[in-house]
Amino acid sequence: MIRLDQIEKNQIGRIVEINTDMLPLKLIEMGCLPGNEVSLKQLAPLNDPMYLIIDGCHLAIRKETAQHISIDLIE
């Protein structure tokens, strides 16, 4: 298990655990929930924010926020 901020470009993972106290409600409403797939598509020029696809939703989130999401990589 790794944190979402450690994922590399084009890797796919499955969300295992989220810290609901630290995540904005909007992310949870958009599908950032345990069991959903997540993939990193691109990083901004200074590596923050991260452009992700979570359960079909395209999101950009800061690495600071991604640290509160744990994933298992899908090989």
- Output the average pLDDT for the chain: 91
Give the pLDDT band (50/70/90) at residue 20: confident
In degrees rounded to 5, what are phi and psi of residue 64? -60, -40
Rounded average pLDDT over 42-64 = 91
Residues 6+ apart with CB under 8 A from 75: none
Q: How many percent of the chain have pLDDT more than 70?
A: 100
Ordered by where they begin, the domains of the chain are 2-73 (2.30.30.90)
d(CA 27, CA 75): 25
Q: What digits encode the pLDDT tens for the residues 36-51?
A: 999 999 999 888 899 9
pLDDT for 75 beyond 80: no
